[in-house]
Amino acid sequence: MESNNPRKRVCVIAFSPTVADARVLRQARGLALEFHVTVCGFGANPFPPEAESNIAWREIPHARWEYFALYPLRQLMLLPGMVLPRVLHWCEAVHSWTRAAEKVIRDGRFDAVICNDTETITLGIVAKRLNPETKIILDLHEYATRESDLSSVPFRKKFKSVCLILPLRRRLLKHHAPKFDAVMTVNDVFSELYPQEFGMKKPVVIMNAPDLPPDLPQALPVGETVNLIHHGSLGRYREPVRMIRAVGLCPPHYRLHFIFENRDPSLIEELKAEAERFAPGRVEFHPPVNPAEVTATIARFDAGIYILPPKSFNDEHCLPNKFFDFIVAGLAVVISPNPLMAAIVRRHGLGTVARDYSPEAMAEAIQTLTPQSVAAFRAASGVARMQLNGAAEMEKVHALVKGVLES
């Protein structure tokens, strides 16, 4: 660093296990090319000092018991917070992790603070109050007030969402989000709706695309067997059994492979039983892989597959990490008709979109995959990934941060 041109200092705050938060990792590493970056998050340090000297890690203590123990107090504080906005910060500050992150801000003298999701909004306001020259940026990873489907959840969880979480998010966004110097989000639908509902600046769209690997995976020869791959988080809510049943409706030369990040043993056993029932011998469960190895690992398969029923507004308008992983790995893509994913698949000629979210519709889509079509779709992904990748998205983040710092 040259003494006559010191690097600006940027703080990235995310109340999540940072080592598994691909979006935050890309933010930090991309911005560290020009700025001194401090990252506040949960869990182990994902930035080895010897390799990433421009990134400082500040682990934030996080205990789940504390969240539940302080839930009643947080709920009581929400009511005056609806009238007195300053109390909204106290709603969050009852937790030790909010207070720890606030100390980092107080001690850091940052030029810019990036707050990831609504849980960190009040920290941006604290940074602005401490130094009005500090630029604050909000990154909204979902549509925060429409994040969950509440129709099928237990009453206790529904009560918690309706009476505490969603009102708090709405109030935080309505009162505080317009004060941010810039906003980011994940797709065009959210970018249009957020300013209409909450009066904030129109968010810049930063899609969740991974970085291109140093050695781009090359398309392997396509044989008679079409190998489908699905990877990511495992949860009953996502109904992975739909993919198993879809493959079971296809001829035997279609095979399904799973790589799950969090391997819930009981759910894995349920899925294995479903696989044996609907597609015996044609569904394989692979061990988890390091996030940095996902692209190279899935590139060995022919096509990425994903069905996400639109149980919530966010599900309907999803553009998930795994979708872009398929593209960067150079795979054909076969997906449910979620409109934003479908638009990209059709625009770039990457694969096939099912007519609806049923296993039967997905089976029809899968059976359009032939060795010839898979080769063509993979070639199209190889072209599209030069545009739909993490470096291209980080250029937008870098331009946004640089722009607000110069304003």
Q: What is the pLDDT of residues 182-195, one digit of tens each?
A: 999 999 999 999 99
Q: Is the pLDDT higher at 71 or at 361? A: 361
Thinking of the domain 9-208+390-406, which architecture would CATH place it in? 3-Layer(aba) Sandwich (3.40)
- What is the value of pTM for the model shown? 0.89
Rg (CA), the chain: 22
| Position 99 confidence tier, pLDDT thresholds 50, 70, 90 | confident
Domain(s) labelled CATH 3.40.50.2000 in the chain stretch across: 9-208+390-406, 226-384
Architecture of domain 226-384: 3-Layer(aba) Sandwich (3.40)
Q: Angle at the Cα of 385 (from 383 to 386), degrees rounded to 5?
A: 75
- β-sheet bridge partners, residue 135: 112
For residue 148 the two structure tokens come to: 């969950």
The count of other CB atoms within 10 Å of the CB of residue 377 is: 27
pLDDT tens by residue, 280-334: 999 999 999 988 889 999 999 999 999 999 988 999 999 999 999 999 999 999 9
DSSP H or E segment with residue 375: helix 371-384
Percent of the chain with pLDDT over 90: 69
- The residue among 248, 273, 224, 223 whose CA lies nearest residue 363 is 248
What pLDDT shows up at residue 74?
54
Kindly list the distances between the CA atom of residue 370 and the CA atoms of 136, 297, 302, 316, 395, in Å, as whole numbers in the listed order.
Answer: 50, 22, 10, 28, 37
Residue 3: pLDDT band by 50, 70, 90 thresholds? very low
Considering only the C-alpha atoms of the chain, give the largest distance between any 2 of them, rounded to a whole number of Å.
69
